Structure 1
Amino acid sequence: MKKMKKGVLLVNLGTPETTAVADVRAYLKKFLSDQRVIDMPAWKWKPILNLMILPHRPQKSAQLYQKIWSKEHGSPLLYYTQRQTQLLQQQLVQYVVKYAMSYSSPLIPTVLKEFEALEIDDLTIIPLYPQYSTTTVGSVLDEVNRFYFKRTEIPNLHIVTDFCDFDPYIRVIAQKIKLEIEKFQPDKILFSYHGLPVSYIKKGDPYQKRCTLTTELIMKQLGPYPHFQTFQSRFGPNEWLKPATDTTLKLLPSKGIKRVLVVAPSFVADCLETLHELQIENQAYFLDSGGVDYRMIPALNDDEDFIEVLKKLVLNKQ
């Protein structure tokens, strides 16, 4: 029997190529044109996108990206996704490990073609979103299905749709929180997850439940400690999951909570939402409202323990 050629594909959201307004606009256009992300008929959404959002928002977003862009590495999300890929490749020498992005280069179909050219016949795909949502993992699966729809030969596919209850992942985050608690002794821990419109949850998206499960499993490792769960990154006028991270941080000091430790388990690579929204914007809200000390645990990034989590996901070992 022929020995199988195995591959691993890590998939993250994407990033503008540079902080230039034109590049940010191109990225936002692709991202906000995905009907998994914006659950609205195209005839209704496209005029809003093209006439109200794209003429103005890219300039504001470009200014935010400039604040978190690394002079040495450029986009943090791209850099850490590349590092995760390189380090996982070192751990899995018998596999070909690559990465792709949903809304920027290299796109998922491009990388799947590369695997095809290499005659990979067993492929593990890991969307880098611990908590399943139709807006993230669902979108990745759409791209994968479109690519293989008319292919005459399809590799064995192993798709990790969610890993928020994967014990190695939970242990890694719990350990990082434990170390910070010992050093910092916060009044409360704040778990901040990327938000989602409530309408998606009402249609059956399990994302909120998966976030709550993540928090519960981490706290089970830590033992009793005061904590909150909140949601960040609201976009548009619709109702989003609550409580909101920014609103909560503005209110905590008035309740006597002056030292807060923030962790964002839905992000495995630092990006605009962690480096600017949480570390700059929300920290300012908390301190300006009377908070004394605000600390945030970085995303898992290229931490060797997280690379081990990815390796175990590929090998399907707890």
Structure 2
Amino acid sequence: MSASNQGRIGVLLVNLGTPDSPKTPDVRRYLNEFLTDGRVVDMPAAIRYPLFRGLVVPLRAPKSAKIYQQLWTERGSPLLYHGLDLQKKVQEQLGSDYLVAFGMRYQNPSVESALLELRDAAVSRIIVLPLFPQYASASTGSVQEKVMDIVKDWWIVPSISFISSFADDPDFITCLVARGRAEMEGHDYDHFVFSYHGIPERHILKGSHNNYCKLGTCCASYNKNNRYCYRAQCYATSRLLAQGLGLRDDQYTVTFQSRLQSRLRDPWLQPYTDEVIKEYPAKGINNVLAFSPAFVADCLETTIEVGDEFKELFEEAGGKHWQLVPSLNSEPMWVEAVASMIRRN
């Protein structure tokens, strides 16, 4: 049966979110939605809402707005325009049998508006691809929950499938390796850092299958027991990336960034990137190539945090050269990889 009779296959690409502008009110709206998500901050709502809306966000929004101003370009937020570019190119790659929509978990364009676009087009089914390589309840899980919360009110709900992770997807790894090799050409790096977004350790333990996760050597292999463990997936991606780059185990370090420990007062995944890199120069490590394999599009956490802030910390400690590998964004190889994942699903 042809697509014209059966209906196109709907594809929903989702990334985390971004403020509508780098102005403080828009940043405040974004942070209010993001930090009151029960999967991001797993506190009781009676505590979470007054704490973050009444205290944390009002204090944080002006500071975050200044950082977003550094990130903003003529096209706006990189996370947004890279997402829209990816949507357009994946649509071209997949052809007329598919309809590709793009949404943000927080703010605009919303997941709801993207789903309505697919519903109005009478797609035969929907494939949802959260653009987070490694599954975490606070990212992929939140997108899945949001999608199901929206479609539960539809009278007719088409078949919906989720691509929950692609941490070890061969095409994804190939893209990372290609990006890394391009940056390595003509340079002699002492060490490689694979910096992932951190999450609280309790998130790992809450999702542990039969108490398998011990936040230690259990992540040395990737198997059915830790298939959806964020930490295990980060290490799995890192091993494959290192293998593709031809690195020995002692040539790279897996680290975690962007923690909120100072406010939540509990441990996040370790080691912390900012603490690790300050020790490098004293160990004779002066030239570092940094990857952000948890992000497929350049954003505040890559461009500003890893690219600028960590570079400054490294150089203040005596390091000579710190280089960030750009994210995949909408590079042709990545577009093909995304289209391939969708076709396979």
The TM-score, its normalising length taken from structure 1, stands at 0.96
Matched, 1:23 2:26: yes
Q: In structure 2, how many angstroms separate the alpha carbons of the residues matched to 1:148 and 1:269?
A: 27
Aligned letter for 1:271?
C
Question: How far did 1:121 drift?
Answer: 1.4
Question: How far did 1:179 drift?
Answer: 3.0
8 Å Cα contact 1:31-1:37 kept in structure 2:
yes
Aligned letter for 1:15?
T
Question: How far did 1:199 drift?
Answer: 0.9
Q: In structure 1, how many angstroms separate the alpha carbons of the residues matched to 2:126 and 2:51?
A: 39
Q: In structure 2, how many angstroms separate the alpha carbons of the residues matched to 1:199 and 1:290?
A: 35
Q: In structure 1, how many angstroms separate the alpha carbons of the residues matched to 2:157 and 2:271?
A: 44
Q: Match for residue 14 of structure 1?
A: 17
Q: Match for residue 90 of structure 2?
A: 88
Matched, 1:231 2:264: no
C-alpha root-mean-square deviation of aligned residues, in Å? 1.3
Q: Match for residue 282 of structure 2?
A: 254
Q: Match for residue 313 of structure 2?
A: 285
Q: In structure 1, how many angstroms separate the alpha carbons of the residues matched to 2:63 and 2:283?
A: 33
For residues 1-318 of structure 1, the aligned pairs below 5 Å read 2-70=5-73, 72-94=74-96, 95-204=98-207, 206-225=229-248, 226-235=251-260, 236=263, 237-316=265-344
Q: In structure 1, how many angstroms separate the alpha carbons of the residues matched to 2:279 and 2:302?
A: 20
Q: In structure 2, how many angstroms separate the alpha carbons of the residues matched to 1:5 and 1:293?
A: 49
Count of residue correspondences: 316
SS in 1 for 2:47: helix
Aligned letter for 1:90?
E
Question: How far did 1:286 drift?
Answer: 0.2
SS in 1 for 2:189: coil
8 Å Cα contact 1:249-1:286 kept in structure 2:
yes
Aligned-pair identity in percent equals 37
Question: How far did 1:153 drift?
Answer: 1.8
8 Å Cα contact 2:101-2:117 kept in structure 1:
no
8 Å Cα contact 2:194-2:254 kept in structure 1:
yes
Question: How far did 1:156 drift?
Answer: 2.3
Listed one character per residue, the Cα deviations across residues 126-161 of structure 1 (whole Å, up to 9, x for unaligned) are 000000001111001101111222433222222100
Return structure 1 stretches of 4+ with deviation > 6 angstroms: none
Q: In structure 1, how many angstroms separate the alpha carbons of the residues matched to 2:244 and 2:58?
A: 47
8 Å Cα contact 1:188-1:260 kept in structure 2:
yes
Question: How far did 1:189 drift?
Answer: 0.6
Which consecutive unaligned segments of at least 5 residues does structure 2 have?
209-228
Question: How far did 1:182 drift?
Answer: 3.3
Q: In structure 2, how many angstroms separate the alpha carbons of the residues matched to 1:62 and 1:19?
A: 5
Question: How far did 1:10 drift?
Answer: 0.4
8 Å Cα contact 1:131-1:210 kept in structure 2:
yes
Listed one character per residue, the Cα deviations across residues 70-119 of structure 1 (whole Å, up to 9, x for unaligned) are 1x111111010011011111111221111000001121122111211111
Q: In structure 2, how many angstroms separate the alpha carbons of the residues matched to 1:50 and 1:248?
A: 32
Listed one character per residue, the Cα deviations across residues 186-229 of structure 1 (whole Å, up to 9, x for unaligned) are 00110000000111111126101110000011122222330000
Q: In structure 1, how many angstroms separate the alpha carbons of the residues matched to 2:176 and 2:57?
A: 37
- Bigger mean CA deviation after superposition, 117-126 or 55-64: 117-126
SS in 2 for 1:51: helix
The TM-score, its normalising length taken from structure 2, stands at 0.89
Q: In structure 2, how many angstroms separate the alpha carbons of the residues matched to 1:11 and 1:185?
A: 37
SS in 2 for 1:294: strand
8 Å Cα contact 1:121-1:154 kept in structure 2:
no
Question: How far did 1:4 drift?
Answer: 2.9
8 Å Cα contact 1:14-1:104 kept in structure 2:
yes
8 Å Cα contact 2:7-2:124 kept in structure 1:
yes
8 Å Cα contact 2:16-2:104 kept in structure 1:
yes
Which consecutive unaligned segments of at least 5 residues does structure 1 have?
none
- Bigger mean CA deviation after superposition, 199-208 or 245-254: 199-208
Listed one character per residue, the Cα deviations across residues 206-260 of structure 1 (whole Å, up to 9, x for unaligned) are 1011100000111222223300000000113321111111111111111100000
